[in-house]
Chains A and B, each alone.
Chain A
């Protein structure tokens, strides 16, 4: 019995009910005060850093802006109307969506083998391999994107090698377009996909595969009939997570896109800093938040479902 338990038992057992409730009430008030006192600085910090900016941004979206930076304080749906009426923003939104979808699918495909391997591995180096798979998360996205610019660029690794080998004469257009951005983002979100799949693969029991094997199924059949169906929910959760991250990312589309890739995030930046049309930038952010929120809700519903199933 710990000291806490002892004190609690004594407190509950020995005192008459009336006295206890008065004492308890006093102690509860004191507890509550300490709680809010301890939590207050963080609440304040988060308010200034996060809540106030978001609220202010929502309010800003209902103002009227113009490209010369003048903001008219009002309450109108003009900015939203502009975003909806202009076919250009439909295309940007669609491109953002398609980019997210492609990255999500590719990312799950390349991350899947690593996640499966790490679930199964009994290697001595397993923890090192797990760390190696997650570690890129803690490296700046700017640095990793730069690495992809070096690999995919006009004079980069792939083009340089192919030209040296005499296979091509004109460099392939691998960067400054959606292709480059999609390749880069696929790699950048792999650690997230691996983490999500490893926690989603809970139901995957190697004994089921052994059973399939001993019942005469070959490896490919075992994979298709046992492993794949059981790991599909985890893969789907990972895909949703990557999709959500991909549609809101800025650095990689900006750098690897070289100005040719227009997605919601780059559009928000241009509206906010280049054109200084804050109401419109805010409206586009709300558009992004809606897309984002719908997918996050889907992701959490899926995770909850997986949790219950397990």
Chain B
């Protein structure tokens, strides 16, 4: 951070600039504090949650597979997040293709419709889902979680795919079509490779959003198919001990991978803003 150029003919730069840097560093510390502390606890050998850590251990990680509730939650989360991601990729990419490539009245309205789930509180969507699925006897199933997650992940896939489509050149598709390829071949062999970064970034974000989502899963499947976040939520409600910390570190690492992938492909700021 010392790289920002020191103004050569200003004398009073240093005091104020230093103070500003310190404030920025403290703000970053505050922002990252909960994640940092979770990492510290996960490797701390203290029997109970306490400070300061007395030693280093990998015990909490080694014990993770024996926690049946967490492992079951992990399985549920992996299944539902994968299913939701697959579905949302198929319907989201084709919707983005429609929005970008065809000029049809009502297009703008449809575009905001696809992004609208982000403008409604998740808890309200969650309640609505219970009201619809409960009487049908569909709560506490994989399907209920997947259905609930389609709405909140679709906007990300549509947005990232649209971003890729907007910068892509249609002349290659035109050429393929002129050379006799049918619509599906053109999409598979030409369009898809071009927009692949946006599709992957959207899929990765959809997966992590679904995987981390707690409220909809809590409402629609708390008793029958608790996902991992729901299991953690219920666990820490009664004891905020070190057992959860190791699991949290696994999830943090997982998120970090997603962050790096998305940053490389599309730029994190562009994708989430």
Q: Residues of A with Cβ closer than 8 Å to B?
A: 2-4, 7, 31-32, 34-39, 41-46, 48-50, 52-57, 60, 110-111, 113-114, 117, 120-125, 127, 130-151, 153, 155-157, 160-161, 164, 184, 187, 190-191, 195, 198-199, 213, 218-219, 248-251, 254-255, 265, 268-269, 272-273, 278, 281-282, 285, 288-289, 292, 296
Contacts and interface: CB of A to CB of B under 8 A. Distances in A.
A190 B51 CA distance: 26
25 contacts: A3-B178, A4-B171, A41-B95, A42-B95, A42-B114, A42-B154, A45-B88, A53-B128, A110-B31, A123-B1, A125-B3, A131-B269, A132-B28, A132-B32, A133-B28, A134-B269, A138-B255, A140-B229, A143-B252, A148-B34, A195-B273, A213-B10, A255-B236, A255-B237, A273-B219
A142 B34 contact: no
B49 A273 contact: no
Contacts of A164: 51-52
Contacts of B36: 147
A50 B87 CA distance: 15
Interface string B166-207: 000111001100100000000000000000000000000100
Contacts of B21: 117
B31 A114 contact: yes
Nearest to B241: A150
The 4 closest A-B pairs by CB, nearest first: A147-B34, A53-B128, A248-B121, A49-B151
A285 B229 CA distance: 23
B94 A139 contact: no
A60 B127 CA distance: 11
A157 B53 CA distance: 10
Nearest to A276: B134
Nearest to A41: B91
Contacts of A139: 35, 212, 251-252, 255
Contacts of A46: 113-114, 117, 150-151, 154
A146 B169 CA distance: 46
A44 B16 CA distance: 56
Assign chain B's interface to a size class: 35 or more
A250 B103 CA distance: 40
B64 interface: no
A143 B273 contact: no
Interface of B: 1, 3-5, 10, 12, 16, 20-21, 23-24, 27-28, 30-38, 41, 48-52, 87-88, 90-92, 94-95, 97-99, 102-104, 107, 110, 113-114, 116-117, 119-125, 127-132, 147-152, 154, 158, 169-171, 174-175, 178, 205, 208, 212, 214-215, 218-219, 222, 229, 232-233, 236-237, 240, 244-245, 248, 251-252, 255-256, 258-259, 263, 268-269, 272-273
A140 B208 CA distance: 9
Secondary structure at the A interface, as helix, strand, loop or mixed, is helix
Nearest to B148: A49
Contacts of A292: 120-121
A40 B102 CA distance: 14
A179 B28 CA distance: 21
Given A113-B24, A142-B229, A155-B50, A250 B215 contact: yes
Given A138-B208, A156-B51, A195-B269, A121 B31 contact: no
A215 to B, nearest CB: 14
A31 B102 CA distance: 7
